[in-house]
Structure 1
Amino acid sequence: MHRPTFKTIVTSHRVASSSGTLPARVINPAGLSGLPPLVVLHGISRNADELVDLFAPVAEKRGRIVVVPHFSEPDWPHFQRPCRAARPDQALLAMLSHLAMIDNAFAGPVDLFGHSGGAQLAHRFAMLYPHRVGQLNLAAAGWYCLPDTSMAYPYGLGIDAEPTSLPWARRHQQALSAYLRLSVRVFIGLEDSLRDDALRKTPQLDRVQGLTRIARAQTYVAHFRKAAQALGITPDISLTHLPGVGHDVAQAIRDAGLATKVAWGVNTSGTWPSLAVAS
């Protein structure tokens, strides 16, 4: 008896919200594992198409639906952080609501992965909407909003003399306990030590979070653990160094298996299964 051969299908979606229109491509593998969908957020290179190509083989092998939004520069000149001028968080919520009407897999929490500017958006989205996030995967963020009220927003959750910081700091504080209960995986290339033009540099940021993305990743993990423990929460966060990798998500995926690590998840010992990474 002849059986039909099913293949991975990539569909395109475009969703309007009060904050702007957001397109996305969805990788739908032939066989599904039952794991929650994975949302992949690009950095300032806005290489959404490349990420679709890089994640498609892993999505097929793992049986995971993968969503890759595209925050284009004309429509979203600033997408890394929700603020008065830009609400990428609302656009992402609208996309997830749209996909939930098509596929019930999106009705619950989704896993998030972001690289660089995408990692900035990912962790800030998770701080605002922890109930919509399963596992949070952050790679090479330039800087972080630390769960620490001793530092003024946006570097921390404290409130300074700037009136506009008050509502944003309070929004993040309201969901802090749920955010600190998330499973968080932080990745950083061991060669990602350049203070390039894309890296945000201020005296306060350099002093508190460190001079490089490596130092800032370590600072974020340490502050996350401290904040969780202060609330009596056992933190579920890890930091993975990627040997030979700079600030290049394609290199991290091809040479260090980053897409595989994210798509498969991590067990409690912090190790991943040995898997071939598609080239």
Structure 2
Amino acid sequence: MSAVDHQAHFALGRTPSFACQADPRFSYWMHVPRCYPHEIPAHRSMVVALHGTERNVPLLRTLFEEFSERFGVLVVAPHFPAGIGHPRDVDAYKYVRALGVSYDEVLLHIVDEVAARYDCDRAKFMMFGFSGGAHFAHRFWYLYPERLRALAVAAPGSVTLPTQDSDWWVGVKDMPQRFGREVNFAAMSTVPTLLVVGSDDTSTELITHDRASPYWMEGANGAGRTRVDRLRTLHGALRTRGIETTLLELPGVTHTYAPLVTAATDFFAKSVTGLQSLAER
């Protein structure tokens, strides 16, 4: 097999982990649908799938494969390693910018790299986040609503509410000073958004904020005790801002990837213009 053929072999289907060229501390896994590169769908869509704290990126990528092949959507699953900025830290990426790292900018670099390589849409993409990844995903929405084609926020341990009464990350009061970006609720309201959690995802272990945490803020536990409570609170707070989202509580489901990914891919298929009709041809 020639060098060119060897590279081409690993560029479709389940790819190896690739280093982010802008910052090789970070990497990403992909599933590239088999219709590439000869028959790229007209929508040229990408879904960014964000891992939880345990960072089981290959599993998450695998769960999106059927959706990828059915709709011709390229799947990108970034890996944000633990221990960046502090050797024992596992949480920094959840807050978008922390410990000297701008995770939003890393993600946008990854999107640009993939879009350039596969000629897919970089301007707008779908985003799914599970648990810690859902922290990041809905906070990214506050910052970059114009970049999102659709969003699924799955079982975040904590939420940022659309309130000007608290600073980031509990609220959005100091977003302009912290990020150089104003919150745009009108733009957020144009993004089809699913909030999804298992009805039995009620453990408070690992999600109750302690004052000793480097991410502690007053109000850190104010959205409720459990992931279910906190997602309900986020749903209600967004509605008061005129942002309608779909809240889905899956009966009998605990804190696990697969049923939440299924709910998200069903939502993406119904919400994104052109994808459903493509599958029915």
Is residue 158–residue 207 contact of structure 2 (8 Å, CA) maintained in 1?
no
Is residue 64–residue 263 contact of structure 1 (8 Å, CA) maintained in 2?
no
Distance 2:208 2:271 in 1: 28
How is 1:46-125 mapped onto 2 (pairs within 5 angstroms)? 46-75=55-84, 77=90, 78-85=92-99, 86-125=101-140
Q: What TM-score do you get using the length of structure 1 for normalisation?
A: 0.78
Residue in structure 2 matched with residue 25 of structure 1 by the alignment: 29
Residue in structure 2 matched with residue 38 of structure 1 by the alignment: 47
Q: Secondary structure at the match of 1:67?
A: strand
Task: Note if 1:191 corresponds to 2:200.
Answer: yes
Could you say if the C-alpha distance between residues 259 and 186 of structure 1 is closer, same or farther in structure 2, counting changes exceeding 3 Å?
closer
Is residue 58–residue 263 contact of structure 1 (8 Å, CA) maintained in 2?
no
Write the letter of the residue equivalent to 1:23: S
Residue in structure 2 matched with residue 14 of structure 1 by the alignment: 19
Is residue 181–residue 236 contact of structure 1 (8 Å, CA) maintained in 2?
no
Gaps of 5+ in 2: 1-10, 212-217, 277-281
How is 1:223-234 mapped onto 2 (pairs within 5 angstroms)? 223-228=237-242
Could you say if the C-alpha distance between residues 38 and 166 of structure 1 is closer, same or farther in structure 2, counting changes exceeding 3 Å?
closer
Distance 2:263 2:184 in 1: 29
Shift of 1:262: 4.5
Residue in structure 2 matched with residue 140 of structure 1 by the alignment: 155
- Tell me whether 180-189 or 108-117 shows the greater mean CA deviation: 180-189
Distance 2:259 2:146 in 1: 32
Task: Note if 1:157 corresponds to 2:172.
Answer: yes
How is 1:171-186 mapped onto 2 (pairs within 5 angstroms)? 171=180, 173-186=182-195
Is residue 97–residue 104 contact of structure 2 (8 Å, CA) maintained in 1?
no
Distance 1:251 1:240 in 2: 11
Distance 2:96 2:264 in 1: 26
- Tell me whether 51-60 or 141-150 shows the greater mean CA deviation: 51-60
Among 227, 238, 252, the residue aligned to 1:244: 252
Could you say if the C-alpha distance between residues 166 and 172 of structure 1 is closer, same or farther in structure 2, counting changes exceeding 3 Å?
closer
Q: Secondary structure at the match of 2:25?
A: strand
Q: Taking every aligned residue pair, what percent have the same amino acid on both sides?
A: 25
Is residue 152–residue 264 contact of structure 2 (8 Å, CA) maintained in 1?
no
Q: Secondary structure at the match of 2:220?
A: helix
Could you say if the C-alpha distance between residues 188 and 66 of structure 1 is closer, same or farther in structure 2, counting changes exceeding 3 Å?
same
- Tell me whether 67-76 or 216-225 shows the greater mean CA deviation: 67-76
Distance 1:138 1:110 in 2: 14
After superposition, the C-alpha distances for 1:38-86 in whole angstroms (9 at most, x for unaligned) are 1100110100011122221232223221111111224474211123413
Residue in structure 1 matched with residue 228 of structure 2 by the alignment: 214
Q: What TM-score do you get using the length of structure 2 for normalisation?
A: 0.77
The ranges of structure 1 where at least 4 consecutive aligned residues each deviate by more than 6 angstroms after the TM superposition are none
Is residue 182–residue 236 contact of structure 1 (8 Å, CA) maintained in 2?
no
Q: Secondary structure at the match of 2:120?
A: helix
Distance 2:266 2:84 in 1: 31
Q: Secondary structure at the match of 2:26?
A: strand
Q: Number of matched residues?
A: 247
Is residue 129–residue 137 contact of structure 2 (8 Å, CA) maintained in 1?
yes
